[in-house]
Amino acid sequence: MNNDFILLIAATVIILLIIYMVPVGLWFQATTSGIRITIIELLFMKWRKVPPKLIVNNLIKSAKAGVIVDRNDLQAHHLAGGNVDNVVDGLIYAKARGIELPFKKAVQLDLGKIQIVEALQAKVK
């Protein structure tokens, strides 16, 4: 084998590894949805064992519903063993129904294994 072929194979492997490690598609989805996040932040999430897709999808969902949440708060909640979807869905439901629900209260409810939307529905009835 000649050296150019080996170099081409090595470059291809490196590029494929970078594409696998860096969620460029997720970054593009976030950016086009109005979420400001860098590729480096997504990479750090992956290294910290926080699923970037979970955080980005919930950031997009909350932003589209007019609920502003901090990505670092969502990551911390996930790392604490919480259900990020439950918190964001609860915050969106509360806002839609005119119920005041601070993020910290939603986190407390979730860590108490309470389904927030169901609890709010029961409260409204």
Give the Cα separation of 40 and 49 in Å (integer). 14
Quote the tokens at residue 43: 């990479």
What are the tens digits of pLDDT across the range 56-85? 999 999 999 999 999 999 999 999 999 999
pLDDT over 70, % of the chain: 98
Give every CB contact of residue 37 below 8 A, 6+ residues apart in sequence: 27, 30, 31, 56, 59, 71
What are the tens digits of pLDDT across the range 102-116? 999 999 999 999 999
pTM over 0.85: no
